[in-house]
Amino acid sequence: MPDATDAPPGPEDRGPAGRPPDGDGPDDPRRRVRRALLGRPGVGQLVVGGLLGLLGFAAAVQVNAVDSDDAYAGARRGDLVQLLETLSAAQDRATRQLAELEDTRDALELDSNEGDAALEEAQRQLEALLLLSGQVGAAGPGVIITIQDPDGAIAARTLLNAIEELRDSGAEAIEVNNSARVVAQTWFGDGPDPADASLVVDGASVSAPYVLEAIGAPETLAEAVRFPGGLADEVEALGGTVAVVESDTVQIESLAPEQDPDVATPAT
């Protein structure tokens, strides 16, 4: 059975004009607060709560910002000016140090580039000297000249004239009979026995047919042999023949003997 205390108030319990006594009605403020605290929150209450939370967070950030600004708020004008000058001087020192480091870097890069260029130039000069001195083999376009001497009438002078014509036409490397490398110190001589019909190149004996291999511009070298009054005419006048073959690749493998100068020294 329902408890008598839970029964709704009767007429005798109502106040004037039939209203419930003060503090017991549905519009009582205490009841509204109790329902708000104990009841399930609505959508509006959730939205309001979220806005209040964001407002609190913004207020906390603002307080922190104010606190950080307060570190210099009480400083004297002279102290602030001195602090600003100190920071400016530190920035100037950092800028100068950065510029010095950049200058050092640029100088090192320049020295490195110049060193590489000097090394490449030295290597190029060394290779050129080795080729000119006959200390390394050579390869390149050129001509192969074959001189036939059936009567044994060709002397060292004719062979030397052929070498000079090739040099004047730009030959960069010359070889005789695949055995004698022609360089600045190379000498030619007639053989000790005229009946043998052999020649001497740097002390080594060579015999006909004489094969000259020269590296240079093929057309220019070939023209130097064929031009009127040149090597071809001289050899034919002695009863021999000259054949010239232009080639894209001429291989010269013989090396000149190393020779140390007796009296010459590099000029300073």
**pLDDT value of position 244:** 97
- Position with higher pLDDT, 83 vs 122: 122
Characterise 257 by phi-psi region: left (phi > 0), alpha (psi -120 to 50), beta (else).
Answer: beta
Q: Which range (75-84, 95-104, 205-214) has the least confidence?
A: 75-84
CA–CA separation, 199 and 185 (whole Å): 17
Sheet hosting strand 188-190, strand order edge to edge: 188-190, 198-201, 204-207
Planar angle of CA 122, 127, 132, nearest 5 degrees = 125
- Position with higher pLDDT, 115 vs 237: 237
Chain segment 212-222, per-residue pLDDT in tens = 999 999 999 99
CA-based max dimension of the chain = 171
Amino acid (1-letter code) at residue 180? A
Average model confidence (pLDDT) for the chain? 79
As beta bridge partners, residue 174 has 182, 214
Average pLDDT for 101-126: 85
Model confidence at 199: pLDDT above 70: yes
CA–CA separation, 222 and 212 (whole Å): 12
- Position with higher pLDDT, 53 vs 239: 239
Model confidence at 93: pLDDT above 80: yes
**pLDDT value of position 3:** 45
Chain segment 59-87, per-residue pLDDT in tens = 565 555 555 555 555 667 777 777 777 88
Average pLDDT for 200-207: 90
Residue 224 · residue 165 · CB < 8 Å: yes
Radius of gyration of the chain (CA): 56
Average pLDDT for 81-94: 80
pLDDT-above-70 percentage for the chain: 70
Chain segment 14-59, per-residue pLDDT in tens = 444 445 455 455 556 666 656 655 565 555 555 556 555 655 665 5
**pLDDT value of position 91:** 84
Tokens at 80, concatenated: 């602030």
Average pLDDT for 243-267: 89
CA–CA separation, 93 and 175 (whole Å): 69
Task: Please enumerate in sequence order all residues whose Cβ is within 8 A of that of 28, keeping only pairs 6 or more positions apart, or say none.
Answer: 22
Average pLDDT for 77-101: 80
| Band (88; pLDDT cuts 50, 70, 90) | confident
**pLDDT value of position 185:** 87
**pLDDT value of position 105:** 86
Chain segment 137-181, per-residue pLDDT in tens = 999 999 999 999 999 899 999 999 999 999 999 999 999 999 999
